[in-house]
Amino acid sequence: MRILKFATSQEAWEGINEYFITKEERILEKGGVRYGALLVAYDTYIEIFRGWVDPEFDFNRLFNYKIQKWRGLVNNYINFEYLDIVRSQVLEKEFKNNNNYNISYLFDNTHAHGKGCLLSCTFSRRPKYGEPILIVSVRASEIVKRLIFDFLLLQRMSEYVYGEDQKVSIKIYFPHMFASAETLAVYNLHKPIHELVRGIELRPFQEKILDKLAEYKGANLDSIKYKVHLRAAKVIQGKQNGGHLFAKDCVF
């Protein structure tokens, strides 16, 4: 199993994306596979010491996401009646200073087009462990666009249950995580990909990312027929519409 540790949720998102961008050979050595422009890693365990995404992180700038995308995520996965029951159980334990509990929330998947990637979130305290823990189970994760959106959802859940001032760590097991060269090219808006791969021997997947980045920078948008590719080309060219969608705007 691959074990990765990060200080915050945002650093985890950055680290995982950069791992895919620079460590194709390592991923394949540990049982991962590459299907053309798609790279898949299996059995990855992530520890995050603080659930936090920069409030100024702009989902529209990187992914052309609107507020409806966030509302759709919340409406698909969060049943507030059920979450309120879990919250009351957790707060009862907290009020009694109980330092050993595990109370689970099972994610909804109410949309007909929902992928059911998030399965469960256990609110936990352990003896000799300073802060609460979210122990999360997922089916699979697309690491570029959806992963940081899911990280923010987990942060909002912890804030809803424990309050915004309570530090909460996160532990997640990913049986399956993946990214395509087309979507990873978008990461260039966050950090220049050419700088990330400077000095390393380029493998086929890195070459595909750089090819897609160059292609989308000069592409005629009207000639791109696949929606996911068009979205990537739009943001790389700075032609996304709808203003900003900052993480601080994405609340329950």
Q: What is the CATH number of the domain that holds 121?
A: 3.30.572
pLDDT of residue 232: 94
Query: Which residue type occupies 62?
Result: L
Q: How many domains are contained in the chain?
A: 1
> From CA 166, how far away is CA 176, in angstroms rounded?
30
Q: What pLDDT does residue 111 have?
A: 65
Instruction: Taking the CA atoms of 188, 193, 194 and 195 in sequence, report the sign of the dihedral they define.
Output: positive
Which pLDDT score, from 0 to 100, does residue 172 have?
98
List of the chain residues with pLDDT < 70: 111-115
Helix, strand, coil distribution of the chain in percent, nearest 5: 45, 25, 30
pTM summary value? 0.95
Provide the pLDDT for residue 112: 53
At residue 114, the pLDDT reads 56
According to the model, what pLDDT value does residue 110 have? Answer: 78
pLDDT for res 113: 58
Q: Where are the strands (E) in 9-132, listed by range? A: 33-35, 38-50, 101-106, 118-125
Mind listing the pLDDT tens digit for each residue in 8-52? Answer: 999 999 999 999 999 999 999 999 999 999 999 999 999 999 999
Torsion on CA atoms 42, 45, 50, 51, rounded to nearest 10: 40
Q: Note down the domain range covering 105.
A: 2-249
